[in-house]
Amino acid sequence: MLSDLKRNIDLISRERNIDRSLLIGAIEEAVQTAVRKKYGSRRDIEVRYNEEHGEVEIFQFRVVVEEASDDQTEIGLDDARVLDPEVQIGDELGEKMPNVAGLGRIAAQSAKQVIIHKMKDAEREVVYNMYKDQVGSLVDGIVQRFERGSMVVNLGRTDAILPRDQQIPRRSFKQGDRVSAYLQEVRQTSRDSQLILSRTCNEFLVKLFEREVPEMKEGIVQILAPAHVTMVRADEDNKSLLVVVPNDHLSLAIGRQGQNVRLASRLMGWDIDVKSEQRYKNLQDPGYQSLLKLPNMEENLADQLFSKGITSTVVLAEKSVEDLVIYRSIDDDYAALLLAEAARIPVEGAASAADDDRETADDSADDAEETVETAEPGDVESAEVGAPEAEERKEQDPE
């Protein structure tokens, strides 16, 4: 069984990167367990690996007595002097036992199981030492398989697990795909995978930015806390995202001159449109939409006008150049241009509302004429009499 022991130890140590001393210790313990099972558990057994000969040597130690009553712990004086003529009663005598190859099938199988167990422990220790300093970094691997929704990723030296709740929704992988993830945890002892990955934690996004942006890796640019997101709407057909954030988080989400959005769009390969809660609310208003339809209107200016009560092109068209130049970024020429455009693009539904108002005014005028036509003579007379009286009062009190 162990005739090629030295060669196998060297091979396993090299291929699996396991310290030879760990392997040798595992083998010695395994053989000791097998010997105790075969010859008795009360024996004082010592197992040593002979590096020179590449074999395991087994020694048992017994106390020399006049007449042995327990051959597991005692040896008779006559038998002891066959091994060592100078031995005396009370001495502890060591005796080399048969090679492990003669231990029998059951004992050999037991030794094999202990060796396998020890090798696994040694491998776990190697994996832990290899990856413990990489916690908090990005790792790359190949998708091996899926187990109950979790993804098993091969990192080359060992496998890692990407739990279902740490995977990005709607982002699917298949066996053989390359995947990057954040190394979240390295467990020293575990029956399952020792390495736990994540693709949903904030740190994963930070590390992606650092990988893609040299200034971040060099420490020139640093990330703050990510902006809170109120809502995300995905258009998978057009690969676009509408992201709504609180008003005070808009600049944080967009970044300086929009660099955050551009980089995120580049990483995902999707178009990303980030809006504040207020602007998203405004967009639901037909009047605000009419302002945005003006060829020379900017969203920031539309927000400003809308917040000041100019809630549609109809309202805008009623303003003067003087009314508009008080706003930032509006001069006389720009104001005149916006007013001219507003006169040509009424808000949807506003024209009909204006028509309704005009119809109501016309109906009121018609009703007034009808009232005059149907008035009684006395009523008309009273109205005519009132005028001279007023003139008389005016003459008496010119002030």
How is residue 92 written in tokens? 């502890």
Kindly give the residue spans of alpha helices, DSSP state H, lying in 256-326: 259-268, 277-283, 286-292, 299-307, 313-317, 321-324
Rounded Cα distance, 247 and 229, in Å:
11
φ/ψ of 358, rounded to 5, equals -65, -40
Residues pairing with 145 in the sheet: 152
Name the 3-class secondary structure at 385. helix
What was the pLDDT predicted at 14?
A: 80
| Cβ count near 388 (within 10 Å) | 9
Name the 3-class secondary structure at 140. strand
Contact by Cβ (8 Å): 77, 66: yes
φ/ψ of 83, rounded to 5, equals -85, -35
How is residue 322 written in tokens? 């003087």
CA atoms within 13 A on the CB side of 149: 7
Residue recorded with tokens 């396993």: 12
Sign of the dihedral defined by the CA atoms of residues 18, 23, 24, 25, in that order: positive
What was the pLDDT predicted at 190?
A: 65
Structural domains in the chain?
Answer: 5-128 (3.30.1480.10), 135-206 (2.40.50.140), 226-279 (3.30.300.20), 285-348 (1.10.150.20), 351-396 (no CATH)
Name the 3-class secondary structure at 162. strand
Any residues with CB less than 8 A from the CB of 64 and at least 6 apart, and which? Answer: 74, 75, 76, 77, 80, 87, 88, 89, 90, 91, 92, 93
What was the pLDDT predicted at 145?
A: 94
Residue recorded with tokens 């003087």: 322
Contact by Cβ (8 Å): 58, 98: yes
User: What is the layout of strands, in order, in the sheet containing 231-235?
Assistant: 231-235, 240-245, 271-276
Rounded Cα distance, 167 and 177, in Å:
15
How is residue 261 written in tokens? 């959005």
Rounded Cα distance, 268 and 283, in Å:
26
- Distance separating the N- and C-terminal Cα atoms of the chain: 133
**Sequence letter at residue 343:** A
Q: Which helix (H) or strand (E) holds 186?
A: strand 178-186
Q: What is the pLDDT along the chain (399 residues), one digit of tens a residue?
A: 445 678 877 877 887 777 788 778 878 888 888 888 878 888 898 988 888 888 888 899 999 999 999 988 999 999 999 999 999 999 999 988 866 555 656 555 666 676 777 777 778 888 888 899 999 999 999 999 999 899 999 998 889 999 999 998 888 899 999 999 999 999 887 666 789 999 999 899 888 888 888 777 777 777 676 788 999 999 989 999 999 999 888 888 888 888 888 888 888 889 999 999 998 999 999 999 999 999 999 888 998 899 899 999 999 999 999 999 888 778 899 999 999 999 887 555 444 444 444 444 344 444 444 433 333 333 333 333 333 333 343 344 443
How is residue 329 written in tokens? 């970024």
What was the pLDDT predicted at 385?
A: 33
DSSP one-letter string for 208-264: HHHHH-HHHHTTSS---PPPP-SEEEEETTTTEEEEEE-GGGHHHHH-GGGHHHHHH
Residue recorded with tokens 């001069």: 331
How is residue 360 written in tokens? 């109501």
Question: pTM of the predicted model, to two decimals?
Answer: 0.45
From residue 162, alpha-carbon distances to 27, 73, 120, 310, 352 in Å are 34, 54, 22, 53, 59
Rounded Cα distance, 51 and 63, in Å:
29
